[in-house]
Amino acid sequence: MEDYRKIPIETTNSVWEWNEISKVPIQESNDPLVSVSYIPERVIVSPQYFIQNIPGALPDLYIRSQVQQKLLEAARLLPNGYKFVVFDGWRSIKTQKALFDKMKDFVKRDHPNFTKEETLRATLRIVALPSTDIKKPSPHNTGGSIDLSIANNSGRLLDMGGPFDDIKETAKTVFYENRSKANIKEAVHVQENRRFLYNVMTRVGFTNYIEEWWHFDYGNQNWAYNKGTEHAIFGATKPLFPWV
């Protein structure tokens, strides 16, 4: 079996251009949303925003059917006993707005001298705009984004150098590829874990958001931009419930 811990992380973009990403056309495939909970054995669902009482968050997580199949392909590359731990998938506009507003408040608290433009730019590094524009939907609102990590055969999350939704610079996917920025003793261990997650996911077709080691995309504008494809296949969507 190939050792995914030893393959360096090579992102295709060093700067994330939200304006350019939003220009990628969408040809909706109408692929349905499905529950992440239905994937057997290799996936643990941990709906972090529901657990944290973020408005609009659901107790189950949903992703597009094609994303589910890709996730299952990636899960088959994990060693015996290892599992993906999924923190978030499809996200409602209500939840997106709540997260955006919270992050903006954090930025204002930590950087009271920032201009409005600087505050917005810092907020967008972690949370996308809660867009209702069908031509440029929020990535998670498409069902094509997924946030996750890996648990080992003892049920422990692998050390990724910081938690899910970490807002520090160390959250950047390639941070530990640069040994000069990190503690050398810590860097090797964390570097290998990040490489493991990144390479398993990208091997089956996902792309990564460079600011967050946990965020991967398939089928949406982020993915199309990273892949250089002519169009995305997932636009805004929502789960269909018979009693809602």
Annotated binding site for Zn(2+): 140, 147, 215
Q: Which residues pair with 185 in a beta bridge?
A: none
Q: How far is CA 128 from the centre of its chain?
A: 11
Annotated binding residues, written as ranges, equal 140, 147, 215
DSSP code per residue over the chain: ---TTSSPP--S-SS--HHHHTTS-B----PPEEEGGGS-SSEEE--HHHHTT-TT--SS-EEEHHHHHHHHHHHTTSPTT-EEEEEE-S--HHHHHHHHHHHHHHHHHH-TT--HHHHHHHHHTTS------TTS--GGGGT-EEEEEEE-TTS-B---SS-TT--SGGGSTTGGG-GGGS-HHHHHHHHHHHHHHHHHHHHTT-EE-TT-TTEEESSSHHHHHHHT-S-BS--S-----TT-
d(CA 38, CA 91): 18
What is the rounded distance in angstroms from the CA atom of residue 60 to the CA atom of residue 48?
A: 10
Please say if 212 is a catalytic residue. yes
- In this structure, what token pair is assigned to residue 157? 């999350």
The catalytic position among 17, 20, 212, 230 is 212
Are the beta carbons of 90 and 63 closer than 8 angstroms? Answer: yes
**Which residues have a catalytic role annotated?**
212
